Structure 1
Amino acid sequence: MGVVPARVDIGNTDEIRHRLTRDGAVVLTGLDTTSDALVAAAATVLGPRLRQLHPLRQRTSQDGKSVHLHADSFDVVVDVGGVQHRRRDPDEDYVAIQCVQPPTSGGESFVADAYRFVDDCTTADPELREFLTQADVDLYGGWGALRGLPATPRVSRHVEYTRTGRRIVRRTDGAAPLHRDPDAEHIQTMLGRFQKAVHDLEGALPRFELAEGDILFLDNYRCWHGREPHTGDRSVRIVTLRSSDAR
């Protein structure tokens, strides 16, 4: 279920869209290392389907630890001059990550097809599949103390569908049982089981490197991504997106 995204020049729009649809991920090449490149890439890949582009984030780490498989999502609403603005959305359906500065060594990326993970659970672990598709959780309850995170719990299942039929497979370390849920103990146990299954999967996934300027463009409903630890400074820019067929 590992994905090695094809490397496609930004000028080949048809091939980019074909690969993204087929594999859930693609690496865009031939781009400048600028914040404008992420915005241009989003418009190029999604075209008229692009509905919302959240604020760009730049992350720099020195001798960084590994990042486990995850899907990007968050729920942050801020007040700017008396007007509420959504800076992150639980239903971001695409994410673009540009390599600004590769590390001295390490930092290889890896991507998993979450659809296949869930489908494989049908025979490999039916109880886990039932949990992922049937149990409600507080999607960000584990991060409840973070400033800016709404106080109202975000109730969700790990596997859901949009009204247009797109499947969503969520993966976040912030999930927690609902407050006073009578099944809280079981749900906490299954969250741990889910995390272990995902962490066990990581070792078998193929690794790939991002060169300076490369953009990893992901279907955030379908693919989870992570990276290896690294030495030296590593810097990336990230933008999360919503398309017209997001939930």
Structure 2
Amino acid sequence: MADDTTPPRKAKRSYGYAPMSAEAWETRITYLRQALAKIKDPSTPEPDPALLAVGPHGPLTGMRVAPAPNNGPVSIYFTVQNSERGPRWSPPEVFLMLDLLLAFGGGASVNDNGGGWAYVRPWSDNDRHTLGRLVANPKPGQVVKQCKRSDHHDQHPQHFQATGGEGYDPAALGTPRRDREDAIATALGYWDRNHHRRPDIRVTRAEYEAVLRDCFRLVDAYYSEDPADADEA
């Protein structure tokens, strides 16, 4: 029996926002399974985007399903912590990828680059990720640019392009390096810190990594081309 001098056990340290709810997790995984099944067999029903509007959490303060402007395709509109910059919208597959990367914590913001463009950043400035870069999947040193003619609120993959090549000076542009592997590692770090806060989400670290890789695979399966006319992101 311990005496009164026994120091109390330290609680596990959490980090930032709490994980999404178990209900939101299940709806996202259901959508992911439906979408992967649709890729495998195009005759199966379309995945239900309403599943992605359940349970705002952390920095994602709201989400809704609606067509993109001008009767565009079904999209997920979402707001982040600095909501004064207005909602962003994206195809369901892109939102699913962003949402599940943030499932176990971490912020997201819209940061102005000083040139009239504002970009979605998962986690923090120090992590050096942008949603457009995760969508475009550039090679090391390439810059991801957003189409000059598009509405910068629109996060559709067709509006982002990875550029670089002959005559390209990455040092002059800050040598962007952050990629999907870095994003997966960041998300797993939040799982390490925070999964104990949501024991009703029954997913191991390895299973969570597999989910994230499936999300990227889903984005690539649906969207493989980007426009040529772009502005730096």
Q: Which TM-score applies when normalising by structure 1?
A: 0.31
Higher relative contact order (CA 8 A, sep 6+): 1
Structure number with greater Rg is 2
